[in-house]
Amino acid sequence: MKAVVLAEPEEMRLVDLPEPEIGPREVLVRMRGLGLCGSDLGVYRGAREVPERPWLMGHEGVGEIVAVGADVADRVVGQQVAIEPNYCCGRCAACAAGFTSACTERVIVGMNHPGLLAEYVAVPAEFAWPVAATVALEDLVCTEALTVARSAIRRSGVEPGQRVLVVGAGSQGLLLCLALRALGATVAVQEPHEGRAELAQSFGAETGVDGEFDLLFETSGVPQALRAGLERLRRGGTALLVGINSRPLELTTADLVYRQHTLKGSLIYDHPVDFETTVDLLNRDEVRPGKVLQARFPLEEAAQAFASVQSVAGKSWISFD
């Protein structure tokens, strides 16, 4: 089968690999699409370490089941699936509490476990989510990223009618705009990139940030952007931090105490509830996240696809079809 591996930072190669064999509790998925995000870009550039090179990248994968393991009873050949690429152990204290995003043994596909940038991949059946055949491929490709956005929304406690500020309108910020508008919130974006701001506006978000907001979602990972956003957050408001950056936030305790802000980190999602509810939403055709896709590449142009992640207004993806 064909696959693309990262040989060195920013150097990718098209290679032939053996088709994977599946275990009794796994399914074999023929890949159809792979979404790309900022964490992929970190691996591509060498900023995020991986266990070895050459390395198989990619984690936002979708496709079709072509074989099932002997012990798999609830998945069948022919189903289209979205892959949940964070395999929790199910045994640690965090998993027992339903807080699987904090699993101490979490397998992270494409990061500490080989990724999905290949024509066929073996996936634990529990983490291959069947999605209705009526869901378009473009919407299917956004399942994992949409789940990240909806998990942050769940953790925020946002309610219909509240005013929400989204800081950063990259692919995650755009999906937050889409999901928040579907919930009935009033959404504004803080985004200097004209193309991204225009996309957010097409999703129903306002581009003006006048007045105060009940909640804030920070997706850019830029400390200065968060500081500017917090100035618009009402007293007693909550900020959900989704973007990741190692630079200091440069906030004082007075910033938080006098305005009584709550800062809360939101990492990926919790299994199985968040993926399950997102798939249900897609099956009911209540949201069309594929609108965020703005650049499509074939497998042979994977290097160009990864290089485009930062510059494209919207989301880049790789099509195997």
Q: Which residue, among 203, 82, 79, 59, has the nearest Cα to 141 in the 3D structure?
A: 82
Domain boundaries, the chain: 2-147+269-319, 148-265
Mean pLDDT per 10-residue segment, the chain (321 residues): 97 97 98 96 94 97 98 98 98 97 97 98 98 98 98 97 97 97 96 94 92 97 93 97 87 90 97 98 95 97 94 96 91
* pLDDT value of position 9: 96
* pLDDT value of position 245: 83
Task: Specify the DSSP class assigned to residue 181.
Answer: H
Fold for the domain defined by 148-265: Rossmann fold (3.40.50)
Integer Cα distance of 3 and 318 in angstroms: 12
Mapping DSSP onto H, E and C, the string for 281-303 reads: HHHCCCCCHHHHEEEEEEHHHHH
Which residues are within 8 A (CB) of 10 and not within 5 positions of it... i.e. 6 or more apart?
A: 44, 45, 46, 303, 307
Place of tokens 């705009």: 177
Can you tell me whether residue 24 is helix, strand or coil? coil
Q: Are strands 55-56 and 315-319 parallel, antiparallel or unpaired?
A: unpaired
* pLDDT value of position 66: 98
Integer Cα distance of 157 and 309 in angstroms: 30
pTM for the predicted model, two decimal places: 0.97
* pLDDT value of position 203: 93
* pLDDT value of position 246: 82
Classify 2-147+269-319 by CATH class: alpha beta
